[in-house]
Every structure is written in structure tokens, then in C-alpha cells.
């Protein structure tokens, strides 16, 4: 097991335990919260597969846990689901010392996290990620929220967890498609901050990772540490640091939006986005020419696309990109790779350069 500290001000710092066992959560949590009652929020399949182990661990540590099963899938990451979680908080008679424990992927983590942030103005939150993406990304950093029919993640709150407990053995049931989506974020961490991690990813395969728990733990812990470091230095995305985590996401989010979230997984969309960002850097003279090719080879190695299968209407794509939160004063701002393991944020591009880059990646 590897423990990573997220140092935050005001006694809000917490630990990420990578490679921990669900069986050990109760005992560690006992020392972190005062309440005896607890609510585990999960999707039905995760509750069935991993709920019993977690509940046993909580009971053995003196908690009286209840379990709430919420619908899975991005389409259910909404206020209706949050309302169900509030009802479960009420039924479980939680007070402000009692933890909400999210057992699931990013959808469960974001919705349960938002409920924990807002029920009684805030309950302690524990994240138990069950997808690779949640383990390296969404469980860390305190962003919680849900979608509105008008758009993704439009309602939310910053609410840091008390503890992140990543039992990686639960990934054994994760479908291949979800592994690949998580790997897009893992590659992202290498490209933004860790040349050595990126080098290792050039030599590994998915079956290596699935077959070697210690190796997987090492890689996940490395990613978690990068995110923890960025979050600790720019918790609320006000200092321009946290936006490096968005490499490939300005393009990627727009691709997802214009294709109705159906044509590409998030990982596939940001993979095309990372390829586009690398090409943009080359065109702007911000990176040596071979960097874009090396980036694309790495992404392709992990089964991720670097070209769109079909070009969406360009006007719609640009409109979606213009809604990106990083934009300022009507100008597009990108994070682009400048060297292996290094990026620059706040890079502006003129419409003609952007046009060429989009065409190059089939968008």
C-alpha cells in the first residue's frame, strides 16, 4: 500500500491510500470521524460485488452503516439522484459527524460527494474509487457535482474528502473499455508532469498492468501524487496551476458534447484532444517537432484514438469549445505539451492555426 498526503490549509489535509483493502477502511476511518452512523452510497452492481466487504469492515470498527444504491451511468448523475441520497441520509439519521462513503466510479463519487457537501451544509466524505479513472482522478481534489439537462457538471461544490481509499483489487471486474478510458488520464499525468512515467508507459501494456498488482499500485500512486500536488497548490483553480490537469480536455469535452456523449468515451475524446494539443504546440513553435508524433504513438499503444472517426460540424465544435471554463475574454486558451513530461497553460491560438490543427486530427 502507498499513502499520499494531500496537504491543505485549515486542518483539511487528507490521505490517499492506494492499494489499500476495503477490509481495512473501517479501522482507519474510526480515527478520522466522530459519528457512529455512516452511509455507503454505491451503484447496485458495485454494492453487490464489494458492498458486503466494506460494510463488514465498518461494522467491525463500531460503525452502524446503511447502504444506498443509486442508478449508475452519466445520464443519472443528476439532482434526482442527489435527492435520493438525501433521503437515504435522512433515513440513516446521519448527523454532521457521520460520514458518507462513495463506493463506485466517478459518477457515484461526484453525486455522493455533492450530497455530502450539501446535506446539513456538509458531512465528512470518503471516496472509495472502483474505476481506474476514479482512482487516479475524480476521487481526489474535492470537485463534486452533477449534470443538468443543459450541460455536464453545471451544479457542484468543492468538498474535499476526509480519506480516499483505493482498493485496486476491485478493478478486476472493470470492463476493458473503462480501463482504457482511465489509461487516457494516466497517460495525461505522464505528459503533464512526469517524463519517467511517460517513458514507462511507452514500454507497458494493459495486460502487464492487470497482471501485476504491485506495478499497477505504483502507477496509480504516481498519478494520485501528481494530482494531489497540483490540488494542494491550487485547490480552487484560481492560480492557473490546476488547469494543467485539463490537457486535451478543451478539445475532448467539445468532442463529447457535439457527439451527444455517445460516439466516444471520455478517455477516447481526451486522447484525440491530447493529440490536437501536441499538434497545436508544434504549429505554434512551442515544442520540438517529434513531440507530437511521440505523443500519438504512446496514446495509440494504449488503444486510444488520435484521429476522430468522423468530423463533426466545425461550427458546432468551436461553439462547444468556446464554453470551456478556461477561456478568458472570448479567447480560446489551451494547455499544450512543450517537452516530454512538461506542459504550458494559457496558450492562445488564432482561428486559422486552430482550424489547421482540427483538420489534422480529423475534427
- 159 an active-site residue? no
CB of 171 to ligand NAD, least distance (A): 6
286 burial type by CB count under 10 A (0-12 exposed, 13-18 middle, 19+ buried): middle
188: annotated active-site residue: no
**Other Cβ atoms within 10 Å of 10 Cβ, number:** 5
Please select the residue that binds ligand NAD; options are 81, 138, 160, 271, rule is CB under 6 A.
138
Q: Residue 15, interface with ligand NAD (CB under 6 A)?
A: no
Cα 186 to Cα 133, 266, 279: the distances in Å are 8, 13, 20
In this complex, which beta carbon is closest to ligand NAD, that of residue 35 or of residue 303? 303
Secondary structure (3-state) at 287:
coil
Q: Which of 162, 222, 266, 333 is catalytic?
A: 266
Instruction: Please pick, among 159, 180, 222, 253, the residue that the annotation labels catalytic.
Output: 253
Cβ 330 to ligand NAD, closest distance in Å?
25
Q: For ligand NAD, what does the binding mask look like between residues 202 and 241, x meaning CB under 6 A?
A: ----------------------------------------
Q: DSSP alpha helices (H): ranges in the chain? A: 25-30, 44-60, 79-91, 106-118, 132-133, 176-193, 195-201, 206-211, 213-233, 249-258, 266-283, 290-301, 314-321, 351-360
Q: Which stretch binds ligand NAD (CB under 6 A): 4-12, 125-133, 159-167, 332-340?
A: 125-133
Residues in region 239-298 near ligand NAD by CB under 6 A: none
- Within 8 A by CB and 6+ apart from 147, the residues are 74, 77, 78, 153, 154, 155
Question: Measured on CA atoms in the order 273, 278, 279, 280, is the torsion positive or negative?
Answer: positive
List the x/- string, 168-207, binding to ligand NAD by CB under 6 A.
Answer: --xx-xx---x--x--------------------------
Sign of CA dihedral 234, 237, 241, 242: positive
Provide the minimum distance between the beta carbon of 50 and ligand NAD in the complex, in angstroms, as a whole number. 7
Mark 88-117 with x for binding to ligand NAD (rule: CB under 6 A) and - for no binding. ----------------xxxxx-x-------
Does 17 participate in catalysis according to the annotation? Answer: no
The residue annotated as part of the active site, out of 242, 279, 283, 333, is 242
Question: Residue 337: enclosing H or E segment and its boundaries?
Answer: strand 333-339
Catalytic residue among 15, 178, 185, 296: 185
Of residues 152 and 342, the one with the C-beta less far from ligand NAD: 152
Q: Which of 14, 19, 39, 43 binds ligand NAD (CB under 6 A)?
A: 43
Minimum distance, C-beta of residue 142 to ligand NAD, in the bound complex (Å): 8
Q: Which of 15, 159, 180, 246 is catalytic?
A: 246
Can you list the pairs that 232-236 forms with residues at least 24 positions away whose Cβ atoms lie under 8 Å?
232/6, 232/7, 232/8, 235/8, 235/141, 235/142, 235/158, 235/160, 236/158
Under rule CB under 6 A, residue 70 binds ligand NAD:
no
Q: How far apart are the first and last CA of the chain?
A: 42
Which residues, in sequence order, are CB contacts of 331 under 8 Å at separation 6+?
A: 348
Q: Cα angle vertex 157, ends 25, 344, to 5°?
A: 95
In whole angstroms, the minimum distance from the beta carbon of 67 to ligand NAD comes to: 16
Catalytic positions are: 121, 143, 185, 227, 237, 242, 246, 249, 253, 266
The residues binding ligand NAD (CB under 6 A) are 43, 45-46, 72-74, 77, 104-108, 110, 130-131, 133-134, 137-138, 141, 143, 153, 170-171, 173-174, 178, 181
Amino acid at each position: 500500500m502507498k499513502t499520499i498526503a494531500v496537504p491543505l490549509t485549515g486542518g483539511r489535509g487528507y490521505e490517499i491510500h492506494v492499494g489499500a483493502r476495503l477490509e481495512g477502511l473501517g479501522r482507519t476511518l474510526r480515527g478520522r470521524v466522530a459519528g457512529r452512523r455512516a452511509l455507503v452510497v454505491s451503484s447496485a452492481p458495485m454494492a453487490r460485488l464489494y458492498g458486503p466487504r466494506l460494510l463488514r469492515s465498518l461494522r467491525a470498527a463500531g460503525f452502524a452503516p446503511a447502504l444506498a444504491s443509486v442508478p449508475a451511468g452519466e445520464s443519472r448523475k443528476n439532482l434526482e439522484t442527489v435527492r435520493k441520497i438525501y433521503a437515504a441520509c435522512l433515513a440513516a439519521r446521519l448527523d454532521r459527524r457521520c460520514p458518507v462513503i462513495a463506493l463506485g466510479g466517478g459518477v457515484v463519487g461526484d453525486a455522493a460527494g455533492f450530497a455530502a457537501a450539501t446535506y446539513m451544509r456538509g458531512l465528512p466524505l470518503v471516496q472509495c474509487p472502483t474505476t481506474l479513472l476514479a482512482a487516479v482522478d475524480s476521487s481526489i481534489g474535492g470537485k463534486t457535482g452533477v449534470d443538468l439537462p443543459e450541460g455536464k457538471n453545471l451544479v457542484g461544490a468543492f468538498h474535499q474528502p476526509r480519506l480516499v481509499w483505493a482498493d485496486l483489487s476491485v478493478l478486476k471486474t472493470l470492463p476493458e473499455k473503462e480501463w482504457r478510458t482511465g489509461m487516457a488520464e494516466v497517460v495525461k499525468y505522464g505528459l503533464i508532469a512526469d517524463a519517467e512515467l511517460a517513458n514507462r508507459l511507452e514500454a507497458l501494456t494493459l495486460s502487464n498492468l492487470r497482471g501485476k498488482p504491485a506495478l499497477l499500485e505504483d502507477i496509480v500512486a504516481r498519478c494520485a501524487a501528481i494530482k494531489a500536488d497540483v490540488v494542494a497548490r491550487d485547490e480552487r483553480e484560481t492560480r492557473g496551476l490546476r488547469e494543467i490537469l485539463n490537457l486535451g480536455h478543451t478539445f475532448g469535452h467539445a468532442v463529447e458534447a457535439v457527439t451527444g456523449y455517445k460516439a466516444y468515451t471520455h478517455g477516447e475524446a481526451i486522447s484525440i484532444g491530447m493529440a490536437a494539443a501536441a499538434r497545436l504546440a508544434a504549429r505554434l513553435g512551442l515544442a520540438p517537432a517529434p513531440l507530437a508524433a511521440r505523443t500519438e504513438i504512446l496514446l495509440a499503444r494504449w488503444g486510444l484514438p488520435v484521429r476522430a472517426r468522423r468530423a463533426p460540424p466545425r461550427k458546432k465544435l468551436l461553439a462547444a469549445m468556446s464554453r470551456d471554463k478556461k477561456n478568458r475574454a472570448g479567447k480560446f486558451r489551451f494547455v499544450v505539451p512543450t517537452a516530454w513530461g512538461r506542459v504550458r497553460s494559457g496558450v492562445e491560438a488564432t482561428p486559422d492555426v486552430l482550424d489547421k490543427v482540427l483538420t489534422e486530427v480529423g475534427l
